[in-house]
Amino acid sequence: MKKVIFLDTISSLFIILFLYTGIYKLLYQEPFLAALDKQPLLRNFGGFVGIFIPLLEVAVALSLLISMLNDNNLLRKWGFIGSLLLMVIFTLYVGYMLVAHANNLPCTCGGIIQQMNWHQHFYFNSAFTLLALIGLKINARMRGSSNMSFAS
């Protein structure tokens, strides 16, 4: 029972995070795209990233939400895989920005989260990356398998 509550809590955190940031980026598309244009690695892909990432965030959040409502561990697994991939990408990007000493560039996250400095953002993303790994592992155990393979 404790595993279910913990798994639901982790899922809920990702649902809140990705719905909030994804919808924020979609609603405030112009400032988001303008911030992407100022990012050194994303400058040439701003239009694609500006649509794809927020939609992916919302899709991942919805997969976790639907899996919670329907008790669907396979869908939750894919939600956690999506969460993990997004968080690894975001964490690596923030890490790159810190190493490149570009901590004065605008954040493209949206809302309250963009108020964090780059170091805070790195720790926040790292914690959520760890949460995604934990959620994936607990979900795999609850499905009766201790492996975390991508096959169902």
List Cβ neighbours of 68 (8 Å cut-off, separation of 6 or more): 8, 11, 12, 15, 76
What's the pLDDT at 55?
96
Please give the C-alpha separations between residue 103 and each of 39, 62, 118, 122, 131, in angstroms, as whole numbers.
Answer: 11, 32, 6, 11, 25
pLDDT by residue for the chain (152 residues), tens digit each?
A: 688 899 999 999 999 999 999 999 999 988 888 888 877 777 778 788 889 999 999 999 999 999 999 988 899 999 999 999 999 999 998 898 888 866 566 666 666 777 888 888 899 999 999 999 999 999 998 877 444 454 44
Neighbours of 115 (CB within 10 A): 10
CA atoms within 13 A on the CB side of 81: 12
pLDDT on residue 52 = 94
Cβ burial, residue 98 (10 Å; 0-12/13-18/19+):
middle
pLDDT value, residue 96: 86
Q: Please tell me the pTM assigned to this model.
A: 0.86
pLDDT value, residue 135 = 95
